[in-house]
Chain A
Amino acid sequence: MSAYLLAGGRVLDPGSGIDALLDVLVVDERIVRVAPDLAGGTGGSGEAGAPHASDLPEHLDPVDVEVVDVRGCWVTPGFVDLHTHLREPGEEDAEDIDTGSAAGAAGGYTALCAMANTDPVCDAAVIADLVWRRGREVGLVDVFPVGAITKGLKGQELAPFGELNASAAGVDMFSDDGIPLADALVMRRALQYATAFDAVICNHAEEPDLTVDAQMNEGAMSSVLGLPGWPHEAEEIMVARDLILAAGVDARLHVPHVSTAGTVELIRAAKQRGVRVTAEVTPHHLLLTDDLVDCYDPVLKVNPPVRSHGDVRALREALADGTIDGIATDHAPHLPELKDQEWDHAPCGMLGLETAFGVVNTALIRSQTLDPLTAIARLTVGPASVRDVGDHGGGGPDGGVAEGATANLAVVDPDATWTVDARALHSRARNSPYHGRELTGRPVHTLLRGRFTLRDGVVQRLEVVA
């Protein structure tokens, strides 16, 4: 048996709307009490003391309860990432499920959705089950595979949605992420077919004819830097098409990594019309802008590219008003030797798991664009509404910071200021655009089913605990 009392923290539970100073008692896998002042002596400036026996379940002796002082921290549901590239199977020299899970735990995540563009592609149940099982074996986060829309990501034949859905992984989200599904007929069929499983289709929103050789956001900066532009229209045309197709067959569409103000408008209008669409935005699109590219450091190269200040403003507003449902990292590890090339030779993508909360807190919460509860919602219940992630993310009867819920929790210090050191991150790769930057806000503890996967900022691997 394990019993922890998270004492003195501010509980932010978006599912219930609770925002209060509450102590949280975790026994084994579950939260058994959420109440004020369970611990003795936390009322003032004194140390958290042992809990009162009268506040505990009858069978629990106060001496068996480990009190964890979380004053000054927020206690929230574990974060859910809808968009993670874990690179396993196939590119384990950049990341694998072990290192990626560690990065997730360090970032406050308890659930990661692993994108399908591995080698081999996640277009068969056996691959999905491998990814799901490896996540369980590592035990730092739960890994929910995303299935491919088309076999081999080739954009032609559908992957076996039914087999993937029936697998142990229970895949209910499909994406050829990284490669746009350009063929409108295949996209339409995918949306239609997915309705049989109430699954959601996530199409990489990029009209490829408009982005041949594209290197960065098209605009004043690309003109000065002499880099071929990635016009915002390329994203918006694809989103517009997909929204029309999804509406036509009453299917569920998820728009990944929204990056432009125009896309925000399209999604906002579609939601008002009742189209079943959800959307995500990355931390980097909420913070970084294309004027940073003048250093030509490929660590800033990402697809879709970092955009203009106007786009960033629109994305922040859309996140605040719920047009965009959640924050997703698009964590994309790449080997240093691939990133250490000329800009146009380097691959797209940046690390995101371990810096996500810091970026969101620094850029959105401290700037008062988002209140803490809404921001936490976009990291938890928002993503959890897009696909079924079980008891993660604070939604549903088994989720949240609530009595009886599974103890999938993040404890974050919103005032911790730290300088990102890419070499010190848990990812095997080093391509963090925030290296050397100061962020405020950092996860302190993460609990997966009542077990610390991150404790005092240190990832707790299974064997260490055993």
Chain B
Amino acid sequence: MTRPTMGETAPDATATGAPASADPTDPDATTPAAGDRHDVSVDERARAAVDERPRAADDAGHGTVAPLTDLISIEDLDAAQVRHILDTTEQLLPIAQRERNSVPTLRGKVVCNLFMEDSTRTRISFDLAAKRLSAEVINFSGKGSSVSKGESFKDTALTLDAMGVDCVVVRSGSSGAPVQLQGYLDVPILNAGDGWHQHPTQALLDVFTMRRHLGDLDGRHAVIVGDVLHSRVARSEVQALRLLGATVTLVAPPTLLPPEIDGWGVEVADHLDDVLPSADVVYLLRVQRERMHRAFFPSRREYARRWGLDATRLAALKDDAIVMHPGPMNRGVEITGDVADSPRAVITEQVTNGIAVRMACLYLLLAGATAGSAPPAAAGPIDPPADVGPDAEVDR
């Protein structure tokens, strides 16, 4: 695949006319599907394939994956569910990557992006994911809406309920807001990040990206570096990695580690250099500049020297180890520019995979059951797009 440039322009470019990155061997990719027209043939194949498709390697076996009703926290999932989401993502990735291509899978469904906190990157990613599945998307943001006029979160939720949306993707600066939303709405809730609590689709796209590079994550070693305390990404990431059998080491200034994390099942290391040689993944968390003003650490310079990943440290990594970051990066703080731009960094690939993971989550939530266990008749109109063949080699 081509690697989109980092940042918020990546999904936009894919959506609005960058050259298609489709597999040229896929006949559907050359179908002149202009504008928003659906690639029906892909979807028909999906329907045809659903019964004969070999089940993806799934620990839980055939048809035993618990259905996804909401996606609030990775903590609510079991390993089989995570693998099922990742396998579904694998099938959807070609559609996610293809320009002007969509499948009618969620046609007629209304997905509401309820973004109480600004996050253009994540909102665009969810927007694209829903549109590729032909869902209608409503964007409801805190600013410029009734929320900014003093409407409460509860009233906003009840309003959405009255309007009859089929799924709410919620982003909030308040930890737990999606949990509260579950109490107000009967439709599936998809957490797009809440406070310091969880960001499950970020963790899923991360482990998906890791799995593409490293294969099964069982026994692999992930090192998460930086501001774990304030990070919803870290909380989700640790849980997803542990579910898949990876070992996790946290490396952070002691002031930026949450207290009493014995139950997390992770190691904690003081020195990044000690753990780099055994790492398969180095995951760098964003460090907010204002943290040093509350005495979490003395200076960006000291942080960069002690906890930042630079070219010297990169050289200590195993040959196949990868470098990841949830974005947006502070170049020169947690990661130097040359590391960010090195072939080891799969940061832009994370962005692309994010669309596919979010498609998978929306599909699984709105299809209402695991593909394997749903009666084909009932699931007919919203069957998953099926295996359209492996995509081009992952660009390393």
CB under 8 Å from chain B, chain A span 208-229:
215, 218-220, 222-229
A226 to B196, CA, bound (A): 4
Whether, in the assembled complex, B372 has its beta carbon less than 8 Å from a beta carbon of chain A, the answer is: no
* Contact between chains at B259 and A225 (CB < 8 Å): no
- A343 contact set on B, CB distance < 8 A: 174-177, 180
- Smallest Cβ distance from B346 to chain A, in angstroms? 26
A223 to B262, CA, bound (A): 10
Whether, in the assembled complex, A419 has its beta carbon less than 8 Å from a beta carbon of chain B, the answer is: no
- A340 contact set on B, CB distance < 8 A: 152, 154
Whether, in the assembled complex, B261 has its beta carbon less than 8 Å from a beta carbon of chain A, the answer is: yes
* Contact between chains at B175 and A344 (CB < 8 Å): yes
Q: How many residues of B contact A (CB 8 A)?
A: 26
Partner of B259, one of A222, A227, A296, A337: A222
A55 to B172, CA, bound (A): 71
Whether, in the assembled complex, B297 has its beta carbon less than 8 Å from a beta carbon of chain A, the answer is: no
A220 to B261, CA, bound (A): 6
Question: Given A342-B153, A343-B176, are A226 and B198 also a contact pair (CB < 8 Å)?
Answer: yes
CB under 8 Å from chain A, chain B span 141-180:
152-154, 172-177, 179-180
Whether, in the assembled complex, A295 has its beta carbon less than 8 Å from a beta carbon of chain B, the answer is: yes
Whether, in the assembled complex, B326 has its beta carbon less than 8 Å from a beta carbon of chain A, the answer is: no
Whether, in the assembled complex, B274 has its beta carbon less than 8 Å from a beta carbon of chain A, the answer is: no
- Smallest Cβ distance from A233 to chain B, in angstroms? 11
Whether, in the assembled complex, B47 has its beta carbon less than 8 Å from a beta carbon of chain A, the answer is: no
Which residue from chain A places its CB closest to the CB of B230 in the assembled complex?
Answer: A226
Whether, in the assembled complex, B123 has its beta carbon less than 8 Å from a beta carbon of chain A, the answer is: no
- A344 contact set on B, CB distance < 8 A: 173-175, 195
- Smallest Cβ distance from A347 to chain B, in angstroms? 13
Partner of B176, one of A218, A220, A227, A229: A227
- A341 contact set on B, CB distance < 8 A: 152-154
- Smallest Cβ distance from B142 to chain A, in angstroms? 11
Whether, in the assembled complex, A52 has its beta carbon less than 8 Å from a beta carbon of chain B, the answer is: no
- B84 contact set on A, CB distance < 8 A: none
- Smallest Cβ distance from A278 to chain B, in angstroms? 31
Whether, in the assembled complex, B260 has its beta carbon less than 8 Å from a beta carbon of chain A, the answer is: yes
- Smallest Cβ distance from A299 to chain B, in angstroms? 11
* Contact between chains at A220 and B260 (CB < 8 Å): yes
CB under 8 Å from chain A, chain B span 259-273:
259-264
- Smallest Cβ distance from A256 to chain B, in angstroms? 25
Whether, in the assembled complex, B197 has its beta carbon less than 8 Å from a beta carbon of chain A, the answer is: yes
Whether, in the assembled complex, A345 has its beta carbon less than 8 Å from a beta carbon of chain B, the answer is: yes
- Smallest Cβ distance from A110 to chain B, in angstroms? 38
A342 to B156, CA, bound (A): 12
Whether, in the assembled complex, B358 has its beta carbon less than 8 Å from a beta carbon of chain A, the answer is: no
A219 to B172, CA, bound (A): 23
Whether, in the assembled complex, B194 has its beta carbon less than 8 Å from a beta carbon of chain A, the answer is: yes
Whether, in the assembled complex, B235 has its beta carbon less than 8 Å from a beta carbon of chain A, the answer is: yes
- B221 contact set on A, CB distance < 8 A: none
A58 to B180, CA, bound (A): 66
- A337 contact set on B, CB distance < 8 A: 152
- A218 contact set on B, CB distance < 8 A: 259
Whether, in the assembled complex, B100 has its beta carbon less than 8 Å from a beta carbon of chain A, the answer is: no
* Contact between chains at A226 and B195 (CB < 8 Å): yes
* Contact between chains at B259 and A342 (CB < 8 Å): no
A337 to B153, CA, bound (A): 10
- B258 contact set on A, CB distance < 8 A: 222-223
Question: Given A341-B152, A341-B153, A342-B153, are A227 and B175 also a contact pair (CB < 8 Å)?
Answer: yes
Question: Given A219-B259, A296-B179, A296-B180, are A227 and B172 also a contact pair (CB < 8 Å)?
Answer: no
- A228 contact set on B, CB distance < 8 A: 196
Partner of B260, one of A219, A227, A297, A345: A219
Whether, in the assembled complex, B325 has its beta carbon less than 8 Å from a beta carbon of chain A, the answer is: no
A/B interface sample: 23 pairs, CB < 8 A: A219-B259, A220-B261, A220-B262, A224-B235, A226-B175, A226-B194, A226-B196, A226-B197, A226-B235, A227-B175, A227-B196, A228-B196, A229-B259, A295-B179, A296-B175, A296-B176, A337-B152, A342-B174, A343-B175, A343-B176, A343-B180, A344-B174, A345-B153
Q: Give the top 7 A-B pairs by smallest Cβ distance, nearest first.
A: A296-B176, A226-B196, A226-B197, A342-B174, A223-B258, A220-B260, A226-B175
- Given A224-B235, A296-B176, 14 other A-B contacts at CB below 8 A? A220-B262, A223-B259, A223-B261, A225-B176, A226-B194, A227-B195, A229-B259, A296-B175, A296-B180, A337-B152, A342-B153, A342-B176, A342-B180, A343-B176
